[in-house]
Amino acid sequence: MENGYLSLVLHAHLPFVRHPEHEDFLEEDWYYEAITETYIPLLIVFDKLVRDGVDFRITISISPTLLAMFLDPLLQNRYLKHLDSLIELSYKEIDRTHYYPDMHKLARMYNQKFLDARGLFESKYHRNLAAAFKHFADLGKIELITCAGTHCFLPLQEMYRPLVRAQVKTAVALHEKTFGRKPLGMWLPECGYHPGDDEILKDAGVRYFFVDTHGILHGTPRPKYGIFAPVYCKSGVAAFGRDIESSKAVWSAKEGYPGDYNYREFYRDIGFDADYDYIRPYIHVDGTRIQTGIKYFRITGPNIDLSNKELYVPEWAREKAAEHAGNFMFNRQKQVEHLHNFLGKPPIIIAPYDAELYGHWWYEGPEWLEFLCRKIHYDQSELKMITPGEYLEKYPKNQVVTPSYSSWGWKGYAEYWLEGSNDWIYQHLHKAGERMIELANQYPVADGLLKRALNQAARELMLAQSSDWAFIMKTGTCVPYAHKRFKDHIERFTRLYEAIKANAIDAPYLAEIEGKDNLFPEIDWRDCRTN
């Protein structure tokens, strides 16, 4: 009999990055890297677990922007092209490293992984990663949930409720259309929750969401079981709180697993190391050196300069991943045993992470996950994996608590998205939002060109609302791109708004931006109406 439950939640998200106007666009690489290093390795892990009869449960949120990219033929083709070029480079690396046997082995490893990825993507899943995830959802091993439409940080749109609703409804509609069923849960972008958002989730048929630890702990009234049982908002939608201990094990640099010296070093890449003429065909078309994904070194030790890193040894890393999985499981076993005694009922431990942490940042993350699932399945019976949906079915009775406004970002609230580097965007974002509501109220019915223009305006607004732009402005990575994107979408929205108001829609212009920002074909501008 189990003492308690573990619910692993992976949040997969990238902003919508698709630039048909350029043959080779740097930021699209975010997506290609994530496919090769995270999404495909995760699918391989799931496949192996299923094949070996390991019963596991993982909850995966796929953001609607990411899902739209999964489904886009242009990006599917471009990914294959990207991968083919990587495969070509890996063959050259096999030759080039001939006289360094250890490095040569790594070159062969990359070559094999890229070939495997290609086989999977092209032959097994027919370029459709959404279908691949659906496969494991249909087997009942993973629970697929959604996220707000363009990953809008909802608490900072709180004064425009119809826009929050449009983010939620658009997401649920795309999820249902793609996966054939409504999502049971939603990952609120950055866990940003404002009391009352749950009402909107309820109207969209979403049964649960996640908040950070203090969102539950500072809820009203006091939650009896802390974060170890979900609570119901007054709307009846359940909120699950993040567990700090299991979070820290993976996120924390000091105590966290990914910082282990045996693991692969993220920043040392042959894209920067190799001779320029040699690497030139595999970096950005304008000659900028970029990451290729072929990385030969390990973290090595504390404060080691990148040029002094030592060679990566996959066997050591794999051993570490197994050890860390064992450690994680042991700690969760102790945790649920202790909590079970204390609470008098089996606790649920919510362990949410960015999916891209696994594989992309923490190269061995997918292996760790595989070891963890196997160990939980074979080695013990106290801890059981569960999805939030299953838990609610099993334990429908929970306390009624309104969680507090919170996020899982730095300092726990909205500061990362509202501070000196990015606070200027809200004036423009809110104005565009007001204008969208105005349009939706003015045109309850539309068809033809007007309908297309209204829907495209809604798309542009939502793209401007992506939390990624404010996030990037704050972190300082790729700031010009974030500025460009925010500006592009506000500009496109504004031009559409003015054209609609003037009854002078420019059909070629509309067609052009429909071709660029082509996500959410089923979007409905009427979701932005007041009421």
**What are the backbone angles phi and psi of residue 329, rounded to the nearest 5°?**
-65, -45
- Separation CA 149–CA 174 (nearest Å): 9
Q: Contacts with other proteins in 412-431 (CB under 8 A)?
A: 412-416, 418-421, 423-424, 426-428, 430-431
Beta bridge partners of 8: 58, 351
Beta bridge partners of 455: none
Q: How far is the CB of 138 from other proteins (least distance, A)?
A: 28
Whose Cβ is closer to other proteins: residue 57's or residue 214's?
214
List 81, 140, 267, 379, residue binding other proteins (CB under 8 A): 267
Q: Contacts with other proteins in 322-381 (CB under 8 A)?
A: 338-339, 342-343, 354, 356-357, 360-361
Q: Contacts with other proteins in 92-121 (CB under 8 A)?
A: 92, 95-100, 103
- Separation CA 377–CA 226 (nearest Å): 27
List 183, 271, 346, 388, residue binding other proteins (CB under 8 A): 271
Whose Cβ is closer to other proteins: residue 212's or residue 367's?
212
- Separation CA 81–CA 68 (nearest Å): 19
Q: Contacts with other proteins in 435-474 (CB under 8 A)?
A: 468, 471-472
Choices 56-64, 163-171, 180-188, 269-277; region in contact with other proteins by CB under 8 A: 269-277
Q: Contacts with other proteins in 10-29 (CB under 8 A)?
A: 14, 26-27, 29
Dihedral of the alpha carbons of 196, 199, 205, 206, in degrees to the nearest 10: 20
Which candidate, 484, 487, 491, 486, places its Cα nearest to that of 512?
491
Whose Cβ is closer to other proteins: residue 381's or residue 477's?
477
Which candidate, 143, 213, 173, places its Cα nearest to that of 404?
213
Q: Which residues contact 406 (CB under 8 A, 6 or more apart)?
A: 191, 192, 193, 211, 212, 214, 215, 218, 412, 413
Residue 199 interacts with other proteins (CB under 8 A): yes or no: no
Q: How far is the CB of 424 from other proteins (least distance, A)?
A: 3
Which candidate, 384, 379, 377, places its Cα nearest to that of 332?
384
Q: Which helix (H) or strand (E) segment is 61 a member of?
A: strand 58-62
Total residues binding other proteins (CB under 8 A)? 124
Q: How many CB atoms lie within 10 A of CB 200?
A: 22
Amino acid (one-letter) located at 141: K
Q: Which residue has the tokens 């740097």?
A: 26
Q: Contacts with other proteins in 276-295 (CB under 8 A)?
A: 278, 284, 286, 288-291
List 134, 207, 214, 529, residue binding other proteins (CB under 8 A): 214
Residue 240 interacts with other proteins (CB under 8 A): yes or no: no
Q: How far is the CB of 270 from other proteins (least distance, A)?
A: 11
- Separation CA 482–CA 484 (nearest Å): 5
Q: How far is the CB of 289 from other proteins (least distance, A)?
A: 6
Beta bridge partners of 384: 5
Q: Contacts with other proteins in 117-156 (CB under 8 A)?
A: 155-156
Q: Contacts with other proteins in 34-63 (CB under 8 A)?
A: 34
**What are the backbone angles phi and psi of residue 28, rounded to the nearest 5°?**
-65, -25
Q: How far is the CB of 212 from other proteins (least distance, A)?
A: 7
- Separation CA 4–CA 267 (nearest Å): 38
Whose Cβ is closer to other proteins: residue 110's or residue 405's?
405
Q: How far is the CB of 139 from other proteins (least distance, A)?
A: 28
Query: 227: which 2 tokens?
Result: 């974060």
**Using an 8 Å Cβ cutoff, are 453 and 510 in contact?**
yes
Residue 406 interacts with other proteins (CB under 8 A): yes or no: yes
- Separation CA 337–CA 348 (nearest Å): 11
Q: Contacts with other proteins in 466-525 (CB under 8 A)?
A: 468, 471-472, 475-481, 483-484, 487, 490-491, 494
**Using an 8 Å Cβ cutoff, are 418 and 458 in contact?**
no
Whose Cβ is closer to other proteins: residue 380's or residue 494's?
494
Residue 245 interacts with other proteins (CB under 8 A): yes or no: yes
Residue 272 interacts with other proteins (CB under 8 A): yes or no: yes
List 114, 228, 312, 371, residue binding other proteins (CB under 8 A): 228
Q: How far is the CB of 524 from other proteins (least distance, A)?
A: 26
DSSP, res 400:
B
List 224, 280, 345, 516, residue binding other proteins (CB under 8 A): 224
Q: Which helix (H) or strand (E) segment is 439 a member of?
A: helix 425-442
Q: Contacts with other proteins in 157-176 (CB under 8 A)?
A: 158-159
Residue 230 interacts with other proteins (CB under 8 A): yes or no: no
Whose Cβ is closer to other proteins: residue 173's or residue 336's?
336
Which candidate, 13, 49, 205, 6, places its Cα nearest to that of 139?
49
Q: How far is the CB of 440 from other proteins (least distance, A)?
A: 19
Query: 15: which 2 tokens?
Result: 């902003």
CA 33 from chain centre, in angstroms, equals: 13
Whose Cβ is closer to other proteins: residue 135's or residue 284's?
284
Amino acid (one-letter) located at 261: Y
Q: How far is the CB of 95 from other proteins (least distance, A)?
A: 5
- Separation CA 471–CA 300 (nearest Å): 30
Whose Cβ is closer to other proteins: residue 181's or residue 338's?
338
Residue 527 interacts with other proteins (CB under 8 A): yes or no: no
Choices 48-56, 113-121, 163-171, 242-250; region in contact with other proteins by CB under 8 A: 242-250
Angle at CA 239, nearest 5°, toward 209 and 169? 35
Q: How far is the CB of 21 from other proteins (least distance, A)?
A: 11
Q: How far is the CB of 380 from other proteins (least distance, A)?
A: 21
